[in-house]
Amino acid sequence: MSEAVNGLAKKFNSPQHYYSTERQDARYKLLPFNFERVGDSYLLTNEVGEYLFISGEDLHSLVHETLDPKSDVYSSLKSRHFLYEVGSESAIELLSLKLRTKHAVFRQFTSLHIFVVSLRCDYSCPYCQVSRQTEDADRYDMDEETALRSLDFVFRTPSEHIKIEFQGGEPLLNWEVIEFTVLEAEKINKTEKRDLAFVIATNLTLISDEILEFCYQHDVFISTSLDGPAHVHNRNRPRPGKDGHQIVRDQIERVREKLGPDRISALMTTSELSLSHPREIIDEYLDADFKGIFLRPLSPYGFAVKTHQIEKYDFERFFEFYQDSMEYIFEINEAGIPFVEEFSALLLRKISLPYPTGYVDLQSPAGAGVSAIVFNYDGDVYASDESRMLAEMGDHKFRLGNILSNTYEEIFLESGLLEILEETLTDSVPECYQCAYKPFCGSEPVYHYATQRDPVGNKALSGFCTKTKTITNYLLDIMENDPARRQILQSWI
């Protein structure tokens, strides 16, 4: 029998061998970091999102504490908190301060409150994520009692900033409750004195002079959908009996004339048809005088699943579309016209800034319930917009309760929300905790549950992870190797 040391066979190294690699004569110590091979180099990232590309030889020297202190790579690693010199403990304090700043968003708690005031809609989009109901259906509108009770919850948040977003279906089909909610929220805020904002996400068909005047008087923003030129938009977003594209273009101008040029934004959704028309879609946004575009793939919810739209392309095809779009966007910027790809800009801010972005899908733990919460038309409360989309498909796993029967404390502390947050802390999630892209990524438990029936999911099979890593690599390659286009990307931050 082998002689045992610390309960282990002697032929094995002692545990202490793996706990520390410090050399007695080392001039520096390592700070926590992850790495991944990218091409011929290695991408290093640390807990606060600092990154650096180094050679395999330098990485070997770094971890064995033999790196030359006079080298340029040593200086870069030191300044970016991958190592600190023995006796200079202030480096750890500075790293801690940066980490605290990165997570400051959670101090504010929930700021975005989504009111689903109607599930009815006058459009019949085949990719609809929310499983909308027909315009003449009943039982799918929020009433004033539910809206008022929702406002009680809204103003329980400790956040200084409160945004109330009205969604559907088509929310303007229940305009009376939107109007009621805005007026009641303003009344409450006379005492609360929060930074209060309102947004209506609408297809614009039902916008009237009366509604526009109300939005003007109460500082309400408008968000709409524009999928591209007429032949793309009308196929993606059919309006029975009418030209939906012409309606939305006319109404965008009408909103701008009344509310101002920056009071309306637009989102596009990428269908299979969209993949063949990146330049035309971007030209449509330019022609509509938007300053950017958010290139958004289909989500695995609602009619996008029921009508099999989600199966019509994979991420590889979307990434080709993204690259073609970015190439054209760079050309536009190089011609002197500022134009931004918004998802890229979000990632660039995550990569470059010490501050949190607040973007729900790129947070750890997940932004579900913490950064955003959804009050459904029937009073049910969901941890995120995707959660209620899943519920309309018949799966209520992420339902937190009902505002008409549960207290604020029950919904936030006893509903399973804490378990969701615990499962989505990337510092402890399998595969995520050692991933070099962890500082730039986040958790999306509803996506992984919808695609893998597990809120954590196997990250090797995750479309969410593939998208974030692939686009991050694309952007980092430009930042490292293309000075002219790096300037364009930096202007988006």
pLDDT > 90 in the chain, percent: 66
**In the predicted model, what is the mean pLDDT of residues 384-388?**
85
Q: Mean of the pLDDT values across residues 89-114?
A: 85
> What tens digit of pLDDT does each residue of 240-275 get?
888 999 999 999 999 999 999 999 999 999 999 999
Q: Which of 69-73, 236-240, 394-398 has the highest mean pLDDT?
A: 69-73
Distance, CA of 434 to CA of 253 (rounded, Å)? 49
According to CATH, the superfamily of the domain at 110-413 is: Aldolase class I (3.20.20.70)
Contacts of 241 (CB under 8 A, 6+ apart): none
Q: Give the pLDDT mean for 49-64.
A: 95
Does residue 292 register a pLDDT over 90? yes
pLDDT for residue 136:
66
Q: Spell out the domain ranges in the chain.
A: 23-102, 110-413
pLDDT number for residue 176: 98
Q: Rounded to 10 degrees, what is the CA torsion of 298, 463, 422, 425?
A: -110
Q: Does residue 139 carry a pLDDT above 70?
A: yes
* Residue 86: per-residue pLDDT: 86
Average of per-residue pLDDT across 456-470: 93
**pLDDT of 130 over the 80 cut:** no
Q: Which helix (H) or strand (E) holds 399?
A: strand 399-402
Residue 136: its H or E element: none
Of 317, 279, 277, 283, nearest in space to 297 by CA: 317
Q: How would residue 488 be classed by pLDDT, with cut points 50, 70 and 90? A: very high
Largest CA distance in the chain: 90
* Residue 2 pLDDT greater than 50, yes or no: no
State yes or no: pLDDT of 25 exceeds 80. no
pLDDT at position 120 is 92
Query: Tokens 């033999």 belong to which residue?
Result: 66
User: What is residue 100's predicted lDDT score, i.e. its pLDDT?
Assistant: 87
| pLDDT at residue 1, rounded to an integer | 42
Cα–Cα distance, 413 to 409 (Å, whole number): 6
3-class state of residue 351 by DSSP: helix
Mean pLDDT of 306-326: 91
Q: Among 193-207, 355-369, 389-403, which stretch is predicted with the lowest mean pLDDT?
A: 355-369
Task: Identify the pLDDT of residue 236.
Answer: 93
What tens digit of pLDDT does each residue of 202-236 get? Answer: 999 999 999 999 999 999 999 999 999 999 999 99
| Phi and psi based region of residue 428 (left: phi greater than 0; alpha: psi -120 to 50; beta: remaining) | alpha
The answer to whether residues 111 and 356 touch, using CB atoms and an 8 Å cutoff, is no
CB distance 427 to 400 below 8 Å: no
pLDDT of residue 19: 47
Mean pLDDT of 78-87: 91
Look at residue 132 in the predicted model and tell me its pLDDT.
64
Pairing of strands 380-382, 399-402: antiparallel
What pLDDT was estimated at residue 361? 84
Q: Which residues contact 395 (CB under 8 A, 6 or more apart)?
A: none
